Structure 1
Amino acid sequence: MGAGLRDRRRRFGVAAMTSRDDQWRRPGPTPRQRRSDLVIGLTVTAVAVLNVFVARSVGLFASDSAPAPAEQVLWALAVTLPLCWRRRWPTAMAITIAVAFLGGQMRGAQEQQLASGAIIAAVYTLGAWGPDRRRSKLVRMAIIGFMFGWLFLAWFLSHDLMPAGGPPGSSGELPPLLASLINPVIVNVALFGFAYTMGDSAWQSARRQHRLEEQTTELIAAQALANERAVIEERLRIARELHDVVAHHVSVMGIQASACRRVLDKDPGRARIALAAVESSARTAVDELRRMLGAMRTTGTATATGSGTGSGSGSGNAAGSAAGVDRVDELVERVRDAGLAARYATFGDPVAVPDSVSQAAFRIIQEAVTNTLKHARATTVDVRLRYLTGELEVDVADDGHGRMGAAATSGMGLIGMRERVAVHDGTLEIGPRTGGGFRVRARLPLPRAAATATATATATATATAEAR
């Protein structure tokens, strides 16, 4: 099924590319190209007119039916002057030159050398610059067809003028009459075939250049978008880390300072303990800020240039191993110092988990207990860490007002928890408890190695219990 879908996509991509190529129109000539065409066209025209007088001087037009010099010059102008606009109006130019060429041929007043070059240049230019590919193809084929039609007609009208044995001094393996037809056919097939093929090649080259420029522009835009997205993700990562590090400790310090104010006169000893806790929380907050900022200086360059793996993984690297599940007991102890009855228990056999998973679990617990302290009006909080088969489960529950807790998690804290869980493909449950209070439960999948170790430890413990 996947292979079939890929094939359909591939065929669709080819069809879309072909359709886009068929609809592409080559941009018109630049002002510099127009000036170049004008100079070249005028030069060719001047040389063609000069060649008319040179041909008359050597007797090429010496016959009773030869037109007047003015008409010969006029046909030379009609054939060569349109080259001044060959890239600006290629279709009209080619048709005009073809008609003038045939008219001059029929009148016997055609300057041969430059006129032949002009008709070849017209076929080439129409193939290279024709705005409508189908029309330019039809016009070129019609021009070539008329040229060969005139060639055969002229041979038919003049073949009886050739002596049976050929001109004096002629010799060869073919009859002179047949050779007089084959020679111009070969020459014209070669010239027109070359002009037709090279015109198409020039158009294809221009189309490839255009597509290359489009792809370059798209790549530049994509790079700019990626850089902008990396900057935004970096800002979000910094905001989340600052929230996680600062909010908890400031909340604890606020509660402890409030307790100190209430017992300062009645129980100075207890007030001193509260002030010591405030001092400890402040130092801890400063230490974590320093660790986080140091880690950001190390990884900030890679993230800013788009080499990071996203906001979630970036946050995991930012704090490194400074805050993980091994420090949850310290976190719970600070909650106790703030005056809240806190319990902490670990279930299952602990295994080594990656730093990113460990830190995500710690930050989720930290945010949950911070919300409990700030908003839940709770008296107890229960923190549980479970090592399950293939998963690490975090469970934080309190006995406060569930609605208050739900409202508290609608801001930056909830966003941070969801991002941390999502980056590890985990699940997050947040809401009031049935018997009152509020609960935050997150499950973070463990990598295969850690999951295998957890399963082995669980099986070993089960077997040992059964043996006893």
Structure 2
Amino acid sequence: MADLEDWQRPGPSARQRRADVAIGLGVVAAALLYVMLARSSGRLVWGVERSAYEHLAFAFAITIPLVWRRRYPDVVLVVTAVVFIAGQVREAQEVQFAAGAIFAAIYCEGAWGRDHGRARWLRIGVIGAMFAWLAVAWLLAVDGLPADAFPDGTGELPPLLSALISQVLLNVLIFGFAYFFGEIAWLSARREAVLVGQAEQLQRARAVAEEQAVVTERLRIARELHDVVAHHVSVMGIHAAAARRAMDRNVETARDSLTSVEESARTAVDELQRMLGALRTSDEPVTAPSPGVERVEELLDRVREAGLTPQFAVFGDAVPLPVSTSQTAYRIVQEAVTNALKHAGASTVDVRIRYLTRELEIDVADDGRGATTKVGGMGLIGMRERVGLLDGTVETGNRTGDTGGFRVRARLPLMTTVAK
């Protein structure tokens, strides 16, 4: 939650409001019954005879606000405090239920007050007013006390002081516990709200992560399908065209071209089966790994059979590569060569792999039409995505100079990739 200081506890639910009504009315009935029993037994706290209506009225007025104690805690606290003091001024207040009512009102204000800052000061004000009234009541009582007011006092302290201290301690305990428990209830509700909010955020984050994982997996599958299908189908198409042209003139050449078509088709089917098998059994390891940089020469051999003259060179000291880096390097070469076959009308392609200090550089250049290459095609988009996953860089564009053609240069970090 953004700002806990501004958090407001939600009001009571319909079920809680019904419970408040039932409990409040039960307390009202019990208070009225207690007043009747006290009058009948002569156990009046104040020792002053008031009419039954006044006793019952104060007992009703001090307890009936409890029906709305959680719905309108501010109003209930103020009303209860006013009735409490008024009943004591009139010496007609029943003490036991009245003390319980003021305790509940202070507690509910702390636990359910909408504005916690206001609730804090309202409780402090009411408690201060209670102690102020206690001081006034004692001052008034002291003036009217006879000399033998405490005939049974046998303690070490003066009787009047002892009575005053006991009253103060009793009120401190009542009001202190009411304030403390209300504060604890509010803090507990706030912590619960924070936990609920965090749980909702985690659920939303998990939903977003799951959705992102699905999107990422779809992109990965799309890249794999494009790399596998586009390359092999392009090679098959070139060999099929060569076979068609050579069918009537050179049967042996046509047979070789058709054999290459067959091999490319088998390779494409094998790789598709590997991918589909991995999708169906995600918990099992893929038996046929994706080709890596060590199979670039095999790729170029197939390109040579398709009529494109490849040149291949490796510079620097070869180092062991992580699987992801090796596969990405192979796919970059495969995509660049496929583009040279399909779109550029190239006759030669130059592939160079450089093992630099901190990077693996893949440089593929052809002598085709260059600008007509589909720079924004799905293959180059997938290439950039693959390189981006390894925190690498890729450059694509027309070659400068008289040779013309198109160039792809990618750099994959070695140390960063190994750390991963």
TM score, norm. by length of structure 2: 0.93
User: Is 1:215–2:198 an aligned residue pair?
Assistant: yes
Equivalent of 2:161 in 178, 182, 185? 178
Alignment partner of 1:367 out of 316, 335, 341: 335
Determine helix, strand or coil for the equivalent of 1:171: coil
Write the deviation string for residues 152-191 of structure 1: whole angstroms up to 9, x where unpaired: 1111111133333443322211112222211111100111
Structure 2 gap ranges (5+): none
Does 320-329 or 61-70 show the bigger shift?
A: 61-70
The Cα RMSD (Å) is 2.3
Match for residue 325 of structure 1? Answer: 293
Matched, 1:352 2:320: yes
What is the distance in 1 between the residues matched to 2:417 and 2:152?
97
Taking the aligned partners of 1:144 and 1:205, their CA distance within structure 2 comes to: 23
Find the counterpart in structure 2 of residue 8 from structure 1.
none
Deviations 1:412-440 (A, max 9, x none): 11122112222222221211011211111
| 1:418 is aligned to 2:384 | yes
Q: C-alpha separation between the residues in 1 aligned to 2:110 and 2:395?
A: 67
Which residues in structure 2 correspond to 1:61-210 (within 5 Å)? Answer: 61=44, 66-210=49-193
Deviation at 1:62, TM superposition (A): 9.6
In structure 2, the CA distance between the partners of 1:135 and 1:390, relative to structure 1 (3 Å rule), is: closer
Q: How far off its partner does 1:25 sit? A: 0.5
Question: Residue 393 of structure 1: which of 361, 364, 370 is its match?
Answer: 361
Q: Which amino acid aligns with 2:331?
A: R
Name 2:235's counterpart in structure 1. Answer: 252
- Which of 335, 338, 341 aligns to 2:303? It is 335
- CA shift for structure 1 position 323: 0.8
Residue 320 of structure 1, CA deviation: 6.8
How far is 1:301 from its partner? 5.1
Deviation at 1:40, TM superposition (A): 1.1
Aligned to 1:402, the other structure's residue is in SS state coil
| Distance 1:301-1:31 versus aligned 2 partners, 3 A rule | farther
Identical aligned residues as a percent: 57
Residue type matched to 2:128 in 1?
G
The match for 1:276 among 251, 259, 284 is: 259
- What is the CA–CA distance in structure 2 between the aligned matches of 1:26 and 1:108, rounded to whole Å? 38
CA contact (8 A) 1:320 1:359 kept: no
Q: Please give the alpha-carbon distance, in whole angstroms, between the structure 2 residues aligned to 1:64 and 1:283.
A: 109
| In 1: Cα distance, 2:415 partner to 2:274 partner | 26
1:265 Cα deviation from its structure 2 partner: 1.9
Secondary structure of residue in 1 paired with 2:215: helix
Q: Match of 1:42, as an amino acid?
A: L
Q: Quote how far apart the aligned CAs of 1:20 are.
A: 1.1
Aligned-partner Cα distance in 1 for 2:290–2:214? 24
Question: How far apart, CA to CA, are the structure 2 residues paired with 1:50 and 1:449?
Answer: 82
Contact residue 37 and residue 87 of structure 1 kept, 8 A = yes
1:433 partnered with 2:399: yes
- What amino acid is aligned across from residue 377 of structure 1 in structure 2? G
Q: 1:63 to 1:357 in 2, by over 3 A?
A: closer
Q: 1:111 to 1:175 in 2, by over 3 A?
A: same
Q: Output the CA distance in 2 between the equivalents of 1:167 and 1:448.
A: 89
SS at match of 2:320: coil
- Structure 1 unaligned spans of 5+: 1-16, 303-316, 452-468
Give secondary structure in 2 for the equivalent of 1:328: helix
CA contact (8 A) 2:355 2:361 kept: yes
Matched residue pairs, number? Answer: 417
The change in CA–CA distance for 1:320 and 1:156 in structure 2 (over 3 A counts) is farther
Q: Does 1:402 align with 2:370?
A: yes
Question: For residue 382 of structure 1, what is the aligned residue in structure 2?
Answer: 350
**C-alpha contact 1:371 1:409 (8 A) present in aligned 2:** no
SS at match of 1:344: strand
Q: Deviations over 1:39-63 (max 9, x none)?
A: 1111111111111122212324599
Relative to structure 1, is the Cα distance of residues 80 and 449 closer, same or farther in structure 2, using a 3 angstrom cutoff? closer
1:341 CA displacement: 1.9
Paired residue type of 2:384: R
Give 1:297 deviation, angstroms. 4.7
Matched, 1:21 2:4: yes
CA distance in 1, matches of 2:417, 2:370: 38
Deviation of 1:289 (Å) = 2.1
- AA aligned to 1:445 is P
The Cα offsets for residues 360-402 of structure 1, whole Å up to 9 and x where unpaired, read as 1111000000000000011111122222333222111111111
Q: Name the CA shift for 1:448/1:97 in 2 (closer, same or farther; >3 Å).
A: closer
Classify the secondary structure of the residue corresponding to 2:225.
helix
For 2:179 and 2:416, the matched residues in 1 are separated by 64
Query: Are the counterparts in 2 of residues 372 and 398 from structure 1 also a CA contact under 8 Å?
Result: yes
